[in-house]
Amino acid sequence: MKIARLALAVVAVAAIAVAATLATGGKEMAPTVSYTLLDGSKHSSEALRGKVVLVNFWATSCTTCVKEMPHLIETHQKYKDRGFETLSIAMAYDPPAYVMNFAESRKLPFRVTMDNTGEMARQFGKVQLTPTTFVLNKKGEIVKRYVGEPDFAQLHALLEKLLAESA
């Protein structure tokens, strides 16, 4: 009898998850996260709704992250005036002094925060590998997840499409 109730509970939870996914048009909503930028200002991802957002989890010790950073800067500069925002999240294991030095020496033009507790990585689906990049539409839905360096031509095509959509 306990097994039957457990099975019924599992089916009910699965049905709720499917219904939630269908209600958002098959897209998963990005979590709402609060964060502090390197300048000390406090923000919430909720304030980014209405924009197309690229969320990039990275680390200064990740060679692929360092390699892709100029492309992320270029992407940000190309689309920032069209309703696009970049949120760069350094992993919990990255020493804060390294992140600050990296951001300053490379003049990162976008939002940079440190996930000191690992909570943001957990909320975005237990991100462990870097770089991991999410693309969010204007509704705050995750439309693409990249593990590793994105194909930037394809990423730019996706951003063009999302920026053209109404909120």
Domains: count for the chain: 2
Is pLDDT above 90 for 6?
Answer: no
Whether 92 and 120 share a structural domain: yes
Between CA 60 and CA 41 the distance in angstroms is: 22
pLDDT tens for each residue of 79-114: 999 999 999 999 999 999 999 999 999 999 999 999
> Do 79 and 19 share a structural domain?
no
Strands 132-136 and 141-147, sheet pairing: antiparallel
Which of helix, strand or coil describes residue 4?
helix
- In this structure, the answer to whether residues 14 and 50 fall within a common structural domain is no
Same domain? For 124 and 88 the reply is yes
- pLDDT score, position 166: 85
**41-63, pLDDT tens digit by residue?**
999 999 999 999 999 999 999 99
Are both 63 and 139 inside the same structural domain? Answer: yes
Based on the domain organization, do 10 and 50 belong to the same domain? no
Q: Is the model's pLDDT at 18 over the cut of 50?
A: no
pLDDT of residue 10: 37
Shared domain for 36 and 99, answered yes or no, is yes
What pLDDT is recorded for position 21? Answer: 38
Say whether both 118 and 152 belong to one domain. yes
Residues 22 and 70 in one domain: no
Domain range for 7 is 1-27
Verify that 111 and 150 share a domain, yes or no. Answer: yes
Which CATH number characterizes residue 37's domain?
3.40.30.10
Residue 40 has pLDDT above 70, yes or no: yes
pTM > 0.85: no
Q: Domain check: are 85 and 124 in the same one?
A: yes
Alpha helices in the chain (DSSP H): 2-23, 63-79, 96-105, 119-123, 152-164
d(CA 43, CA 137): 19
